[in-house]
Every structure is written in structure tokens, then in C-alpha cells.
Amino acid sequence: MPAQAMPIVAIIIPIFALILLGWLIRRHGGLAEGFWRDLERLIYFIFFPALLFHSLAHARLDLLAAWPMVVVGVLFTLTGMGLGRLSKNLFHDPLPVYAAAFQCSFRFNSFIGLAVAEALHGKAGIAALGLLMGVLVPMANLAAVAVLARHGEGRWLRELIGNPLILATAAGLAFSLTGLEVPELASTTLELLSRASLPLGLIAVGAGLRLDALDHARGHLWYGVAVKLLILPAVALGLSLAFGLTGIWFQTAILLAALPVSTVAYVLANRMGGDGRIIAAQVAVTTLLSMITLPLWLSLSR
């Protein structure tokens, strides 16, 4: 059965089954903690960049058609940042809590997004989402770092410029737009790496879930969850309709807006002195609840 004809729930369930598998392996598999750190680095620096580059380099994207989707993505991301900033006035938690929780309103889990995009549209879905990510990942990183900066260690600019997902997206787009062909041997190697990226990425997402801080800063916690899973997708839906998005562009915009929070937000908060407990709880809650909300939002975009 073609992916487009399958019920959204049937597409989502296997993806979250791998996340659950990662959670179970982390807690009952007897693997050392260092294994998971090394796996996350391997996925982030090797497997996912290979997937993005390979998909974009072979795609023939119509940037004119995609441009409204990018505008919609920028607008709903800015809305999420504004709502995240509003939380500082609504709650009276310490600054490190706000600085970490601020990210929940707009950061997205690329691993889950790319897995869903591939299930829905194959390589074309990965290319479309990769294009949108190429614009929004730098925005999200800059905003998060700006709020966390007073706790920072001064290395964020180097990390942003050297972000492997951004570099892979830029390189893939360059190949696509110039019509260059990836040599067959290199293309086959990248294809093999790409096949490993999504299942390993989803298992790593599950392994990273932490539910031990649900009573910590509950106002900030649930506010961010509501913004990310309910308000932001609703804003994206309204903007998509207003800009006349259809087909893959419409569904990609809704998909990215409805994704749970990225585990990278937790890593960044810990590195820059934010409260890692609050964002870890938000990552876990949004990931679990998105098993319900993500199919609902995607069903509205078909």
C-alpha cells in the first residue's frame, strides 16, 4: 500500500515503537552509558548528515514552489519564540529554568521528523523537510543560545557554524541546484549510511527520555508542552492555509510544527548552565504525547 494511502496512525506507530525499544534497551539492556553517548555522536555527525546530503543532492527541488513553505516555517517559529519569551512574565521560576524551558516552544526533533517524512513521501519528503530544517535549525540555535548566553562557555558560535546538519543541508542543496551528480560509488555508500540513520536515531531518542523531573517547575513545563504540541501546530495550520500551501509543502510545514522537542535542547541547556531537568522533562512529555497529537495534526494536512 502506498504511504499516502495508509492511515496516519499506521505510519506513526512503527516510528514510536522504535522509540519505545530505545527506552527499553537503555534501561534493561545492560549497555554502558558511554555507548549511548558515542551512538548519539555517530548519528549526529555521520548518519544523519549522510541522509540529508544524499536526499537533497538527488532531489530536484522547485525552490519557487517551496518558498511559501519556508516563509510559513519562519513565521510560526518566530511565534513560538515569542510565546517562549512570554513564559518569563507568566512564571517566576529562576532564570536557568526559563532559559532552558524557553526552547520547548520552538525546537523540534529532527530524528522523528525525518522518519515521518520518509514514511509519508519517501526521499522527496526528506528533501522537503531537510530544506525547511536548513532554514529553521540556525534560527532555533541562535535564539536558544541568545537566552542561555549568560551561562555560556563561549563556544556556541563555532558549534553553530560547524553544525553537521546545516553543513549537509547546504552541500546537498548546492549539488541539487547546480545539477551535479554524486559519483556512483559515493552515492551507494551514502545510501547505506542513510538506511541506518533513521532506526538508530529513533532508538537514540527513546534511550534519551527522562521522566524523573515531572514535578519540577510545573508551570513552565506544561506551558511549553501546550505551546509546542497544540498552539504552534494550530498557528502553522492557519498560516499554511493563508499562504495557499498544498501537497507535500503543506504537510511538511505542519509536520515540523507538530514535532516534539529535540533532545539537543537538553544537551545545550546543560552545556550552557540552564536547568537541564526542566527541558529533559519537556522532551520526554512532548515525545510521549506526540504519539497522539502528531497523527491528529497530520490528518488535517492531507
The single-letter code of the amino acid at 91 is F
Determine the average pLDDT of the residues in 274-293. 90
Model confidence at 213, pLDDT cuts 50, 70, 90, reads confident
* Opening angle at CA 60, ends 124 and 258, nearest 5: 35
Q: Note the helical H segments in 149-208.
A: 156-161, 164-178, 184-207
CATH code of residue 148: 1.20.1530.20
Overall domain count for the chain? 1
Encode pLDDT of 48-107 as tens digits: 889 889 888 887 777 788 999 999 999 999 999 999 999 989 998 888 889 889 999 999
Range of the domain at 220: 29-299
Percent of the chain with pLDDT over 90: 44
- Calpha distance 149→273 (Å, rounded): 9
Residue 53 in domain = yes
Q: Is 9 inside a domain boundary?
A: no
Share of the chain above pLDDT 70, in %: 93
Whether 5 is covered by a domain: the verdict is no
Tell me whether residue 271 is in a domain: yes
Q: Does any domain span residue 15?
A: no
> Is 22 contained in some domain?
no
List the grid coordinates of 160: 553553530
In a domain, 16, yes or no: no
Quick: pLDDT tens for 151-210: 444 455 665 666 787 788 888 888 888 888 888 999 999 999 988 888 998 998 888 888
Q: Residue 24 falls within a domain, yes or no?
A: no
What pLDDT does 8 receive? Answer: 80
Distance CA 227, CA 24 (A): 29
